[in-house]
Amino acid sequence: MMSRIEKKLKLSDEKFKRRIGTTKPVFQTMLDILHTAHAKLHKAGGKPNDLSVGDKLLITLKYYREYMTMESIADDYECDKSSICRSIHWVEDVLSADGRFQLPGKQALQDDKEITTVAIDVTEHPIERPQKNRKTGILARKSVIRSNRRLLRTL
């Protein structure tokens, strides 16, 4: 049975770039970096991963390219959402630590005179807070609570 990586690499260069978001040489470089990090991490052994290194890279690129939720990616790969989340964070950390795929900082943007426009995604997300209502508040009056304390002290 052919792995997902092998299927993707058999695509033409144009289709590969359109579906994955990178060229094949860049994808292969990322994969090599991740394989090296995975080998160092599991040199002493340990529990086998739910997902292969190639699948983790595909998941991360799919997450960024298609804006899919982690739940829907987890359904596609038949694993738990937490595995998807850990995989995405691991790939991000390893690739940014390598340095070849790290974005320039704020100072580099300020020093570069060729850059005239910078787009920043600042979409707002609502904060989920419990709704205040009478059921979640204190139901008994303070005077009743004080009188109950007095009764307990006398007993």
Q: Give pTM, 2 decimals.
A: 0.65
pLDDT digits (tens, 9 = 90+) for 94-149: 988 888 877 677 777 778 777 777 777 777 667 777 777 666 555 555 566 666 66
pLDDT of residue 45: 78
- Judged by average pLDDT, the poorest of 25-29, 32-36, 98-102, 124-128 is 124-128
Q: Distance of CA 153 to CAs 58, 142, 145, 148, Å?
A: 66, 17, 13, 9
pLDDT for 17 equals 87
Q: Where are the domains of the chain?
A: 4-42+51-102
Residue 125 token pair: 């997300």
Residue type at 149 in one-letter notation: R
Average of per-residue pLDDT values in the chain: 80
